[in-house]
């Protein structure tokens, strides 16, 4: 990588002695294989292994981190080429890319800039930042390179040294791409993840239709609580056949519940009959988290909870273009009270591994680290979404390690839809971990032998252990 473009010691400490220590630690983990145990890449990429389209389709239109920044400065999603639900005209890819290049300065100091610069250098040999003067040249260069065999999705996994990658699919997904990959011998390297939000969130307008479809798929009576849980058990088994070792649950809060059998059935009846009370949607999500934990105790699937985001807060954007385009905002989370019913029921179960992700940083030291430092079932997920950044990583490690230690952390996962950002995001994590450990070494809190072991744990071993990957 060009020193003029990417400083080889970026994100490492400024003090020379600490920098040398951090560089030594980073050098030992930089080339380790990448384990990407949670993310949202498209399984069709790997099943079909077709070339990507163009620079805008790769770096701009699918990236909600990028889109929200451009939107904040008044740019139109039409002009950025983001598809409309009504099929209306939007800018062509080259025009959208030019507009992106004209406003690339908006990303100075952001993790998006780090990821994109790294990705363009790593994948295409680009050695200067994107800007108006080189927009067309880079667009053409990237387009030309995307036609090469070396830039097809499976070749990118090889180039990035990705040992394992997990996609995420909803409960009703037929997993046709994973079935195709099974025939190609790719399952194991590529795995699905069971995300049942489509049938556990009553705030979803299609919730009841989805629940009925779940019953049809599994042959279960989902109007009865036990039948509904049996339907989930069946779908989880189907996902495991396609490599799943984990489930994922995106919820607005950390609320869990532990209702009695009659209360659970009455709640489900109200939802089915259109008589839901205020708070029933939250109560159903809360109870379903505890039910999913029980199923994880039973079948050994690792459970992930992503809590603390109010999603799709711009109704105009949602109506025009759909979800996951940048209008999601973090909200406070009460982890202690929220998770208490689930942990009281299952927190000591030897079969449960629960990885908790949170957007409320105020909970790190006050709640989450002490909880992970006690409950055997609970691990802390890495900094997520808005906090997957150099300073976010530093804040996270600073606030959780003293109480939770390193062994109660789940390592790193990139949680991305952008394939080329995976090596960039893991590189940022490995550099930041090395910088943190160098600080501990300089203070006499760790020796170099321990620091080397922890650096490897954070970069590679923790994720494999947390997600029970072979």
pLDDT band at residue 3, thresholds of 50, 70 and 90?
Answer: very low
pLDDT band at residue 4, thresholds of 50, 70 and 90?
Answer: low
CB-CB neighbours of 443 under 10 Å:
9
| Sign (positive or negative) of CA dihedral 371, 376, 382, 384 | negative
Q: pTM to 2 decimals?
A: 0.96
Q: In this predicted model, what pLDDT tens digit does every residue of 376-399 receive, in sequence order?
A: 999 999 999 999 999 999 999 999
User: Domain boundaries in the chain?
Assistant: 16-50+152-466, 51-149
Residues 6+ apart with CB under 8 A from 113: 104, 107
Span 32-60, mean pLDDT?
Answer: 97
- Angle, helices 111-124/135-146, rounded to nearest 10 degrees: 60
pLDDT of residue 434: 98
Domain boundaries 51-149, corresponding CATH code: 1.10.2020.10
Span 274-292, mean pLDDT?
Answer: 97
Span 183-205, mean pLDDT?
Answer: 97
Span 71-84, mean pLDDT?
Answer: 97
Q: What is the mean pLDDT of the chain?
A: 97
Span 29-44, mean pLDDT?
Answer: 97
pLDDT of residue 202: 98
The answer to whether the CB of 455 falls within 8 A of the CB of 25 is yes
Span 227-237, mean pLDDT?
Answer: 98
pLDDT band at residue 1, thresholds of 50, 70 and 90?
Answer: very low
Span 218-223, mean pLDDT?
Answer: 98
pLDDT band at residue 5, thresholds of 50, 70 and 90?
Answer: confident
Pick the CATH number of 16-50+152-466 from 3.50.50.60, 3.30.230.10, 3.40.50.11890, 3.20.20.140: 3.20.20.140
């Amino acid at each position: 990588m060009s020193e003029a473009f990417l400083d080889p010691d970026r994100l490492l400490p400024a003090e020379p002695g600490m920098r040398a220590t951090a560089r030594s630690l980073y050098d030992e983990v930089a080339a380790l294989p990448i384990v990407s145990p949670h993310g949202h890449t498209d399984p069709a990429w790997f099943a079909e292994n077709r070339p990507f389209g163009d620079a805008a389709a790769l770096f701009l239109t699918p990236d909600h981190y990028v889109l929200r920044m451009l939107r904040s400065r008044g740019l139109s999603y039409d002009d950025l080429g983001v598809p409309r639900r009504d099929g209306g005209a939007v800018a062509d890819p080259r025009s959208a890319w030019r507009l992106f290049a004209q406003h690339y300065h908006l990303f100075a100091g952001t993790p998006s800039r780090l990821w994109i610069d790294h990705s363009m250098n790593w994948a295409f040999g680009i050695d200067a930042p994107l800007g108006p003067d080189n927009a067309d040249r880079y667009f053409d260069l990237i387009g030309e390179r995307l036609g090469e065999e070396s830039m097809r999705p499976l070749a990118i996994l090889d180039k990035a040294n990705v040992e394992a990658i997990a996609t995420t699919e909803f409960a009703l997904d037929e997993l046709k791409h994973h079935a195709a990959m099974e025939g190609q011998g790719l399952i194991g390297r590529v795995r699905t993840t069971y995300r049942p939000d489509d049938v556990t969130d009553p705030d979803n307008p299609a919730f009841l239709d989805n629940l009925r479809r779940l019953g049809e798929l599994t042959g279960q009576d989902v109007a009865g609580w036990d039948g509904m849980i049996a339907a989930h058990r069946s779908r989880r088994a189907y996902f495991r056949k396609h490599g799943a070792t984990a489930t994922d649950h995106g919820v607005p809060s950390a609320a869990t519940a532990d209702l009695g059998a009659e209360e659970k059935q009455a709640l489900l009846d109200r939802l089915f009959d259109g008589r839901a009370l205020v708070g029933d949607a939250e109560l159903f999500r809360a109870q379903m988290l505890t039910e999913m934990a029980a199923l994880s105790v039973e079948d050994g699937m690792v459970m992930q909870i992503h809590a603390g985001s109010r999603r799709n807060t711009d109704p105009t954007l949602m109506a025009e273009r759909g979800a996951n385009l940048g209008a999601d905002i973090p909200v406070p989370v009460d982890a202690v009270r929220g998770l208490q019913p689930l942990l009281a029921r299952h927190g000591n179960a030897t079969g449960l591994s629960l990885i908790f992700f949170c957007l409320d940083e105020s909970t790190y030291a006050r709640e989450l680290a002490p909880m992970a430092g006690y409950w055997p079932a609970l691990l802390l997920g890495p900094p997520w979404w808005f906090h997957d950044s150099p300073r976010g990583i530093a804040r996270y490690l600073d606030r959780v390690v003293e109480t939770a230690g390193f062994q109660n952390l789940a390592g790193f996962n990139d949680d991305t839809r952008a394939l080329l950002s995976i090596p960039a995001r893991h590189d940022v994590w490995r550099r930041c971990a090395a910088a943190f450990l160098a600080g501990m070494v300089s203070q006499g809190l760790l020796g170099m032998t321990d620091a080397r072991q922890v650096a490897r744990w954070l970069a590679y071993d923790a994720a494999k252990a947390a997600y029970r990957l072979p």
